[in-house]
Amino acid sequence: MPPRDLALLHERILAWFDEAGRDLPWRRAETTPWGVFVSEVMSQQTPVARVAPAWEAWLARWPTPAELAADAPGEAVRMWNRLGYPRRALRLHEAACVMVERHAGEVPDDEAALLALPGVGAYTAAAVAAFAHGRRATVVDTNVRRVQARLVTGAALPAPALTRAESRLATQLLPDDDADAARWNVAVMELGALVCTARTPRCEECPVADRCVWRLAGSPVYEGPARRSQSWEGTDRQIRGRILALLRQTRDPLTGDDLHAAWPLDDARRERCLLGLLEDGLVEALDGERFTLPR
């Protein structure tokens, strides 16, 4: 893209973000790198409206990695409550332990060290480097991918999985300056979350509508492979969630009979889900007959 066109995208999208970006608690100036790290792990698969109160409670209880690391991993699973995908709580606890052991209790500031932490993938490492430490890092989430696909590539939706070409494009679009690049990342994510949404983009509110390749081509419909939506009702994920919900309600160990209420319809399936939770380290068996969150 010619530098002048790129500069115009930067100017307009950053100005739009200054006006329209949400005041999310982890975006405030006083948020610590640890607060940013927790927000990124929580937001991976959970909408921000559900993350915000959980994030506030988490940071109130464990304001630093050292405080979380000193507590039992089961307490992290308990506090995770209903955010979903609770293995993230265990990984967050493990990451806090590594920060204490190898990084003097701080969130590392370079992507390679972040990537070496438990539960941290390329997206989270880049996001924390950018948003916690103001680094020029390429942050590519689903919102960024969708905006790029439409605005620059002219496709209704990106490919089902991230491609190298998309990552390369995201890097090419980054402003040169560290601080601008960090703001650009969050601004494009926000544009995707609020305006360039998956089903019905609000192009009339978009600051770069007159530059959007997809819109200028007449908004052609998506013709790629069908997208799978994740179901919840009646799935193993739901049964696992119910077992954990029972264990969160008490600090006393529960028996297999106590856990019956989690899914009375099918004993074999419930037991299979319990076994999966034990294998994942989310539940601990005390004597083969009683179960608790990990201690």
Min dist. Cβ of residue 11 to ligand SF4 (A) = 15
Min dist. Cβ of residue 244 to ligand SF4 (A) = 38
Q: Are the C-beta atoms of residues 203 and 194 closer than 8 Å to each other?
A: no
Min dist. Cβ of residue 53 to ligand SF4 (A) = 29
Alpha-carbon distance 3 to 51, whole Å? 38
Q: Residue 135 has which token pair?
A: 């680094």
- Cβ contacts of 279 within 8 Å, gap of 6 or more: none
Min dist. Cβ of residue 52 to ligand SF4 (A) = 25
In the region spanning residues 222 to 261, those forming contacts with ligand SF4, defined by CB under 6 A, are none
Instruction: Say whether residue 10 binds ligand SF4 (CB under 6 A).
Output: no
Nearer to ligand SF4, 7 or 213 (CB): 213
Nearer to ligand SF4, 20 or 285 (CB): 20
Nearer to ligand SF4, 183 or 215 (CB): 215
Q: Residue 294 has which token pair?
A: 């990990």
Stretch that binds ligand SF4, among 8-16, 79-87, 120-128, 208-216 (CB under 6 A): 208-216
Q: Which of 33, 74, 158, 201 contacts ligand SF4 by CB under 6 A? A: 201
Min dist. Cβ of residue 191 to ligand SF4 (A) = 7
Q: Residue 244 has which token pair?
A: 């954990």
Q: Identify the CA nearest to 29 among candidates 179, 158, 231, 208.
A: 179
Instruction: Say whether residue 149 binds ligand SF4 (CB under 6 A).
Output: no
Site mask for ligand SF4 (CB under 6 A), range 167-196, x = bound: ----------------------------xx
Q: Are the C-beta atoms of residues 215 and 209 closer than 8 Å to each other?
A: yes
Instruction: Say whether residue 147 binds ligand SF4 (CB under 6 A).
Output: yes
Min dist. Cβ of residue 123 to ligand SF4 (A) = 21
Stretch that binds ligand SF4, among 41-49, 106-114, 122-130, 199-207 (CB under 6 A): 199-207
Instruction: Say whether residue 206 binds ligand SF4 (CB under 6 A).
Output: yes
Look up 40 and say whether it is catalytic.
yes
Name the catalytic one among 40, 75, 111, 166: 40
Q: Which of 93, 183, 215, 270 contacts ligand SF4 by CB under 6 A? A: 215
Alpha-carbon distance 217 to 228, whole Å? 27
The CB-based long-range contact list for 122-130 (8 Å cut-off, 24+ gap) reads: 123/44, 124/40, 124/41, 124/44, 127/36, 127/40, 127/185, 128/33, 128/36, 128/37, 128/40, 130/181, 130/182, 130/185, 130/186
Going by DSSP bridges, is the β-strand pair 254-255/284-285 parallel, antiparallel, or unpaired? unpaired
Question: How many residues contact ligand SF4, by CB under 6 A?
Answer: 13
Nearer to ligand SF4, 212 or 273 (CB): 212
| Amino acid at site 222 | Y
Catalytic positions? 40
Binding site for ligand SF4 (CB under 6 A): 147, 150-151, 195-196, 201, 203, 206, 208-209, 212, 214-215
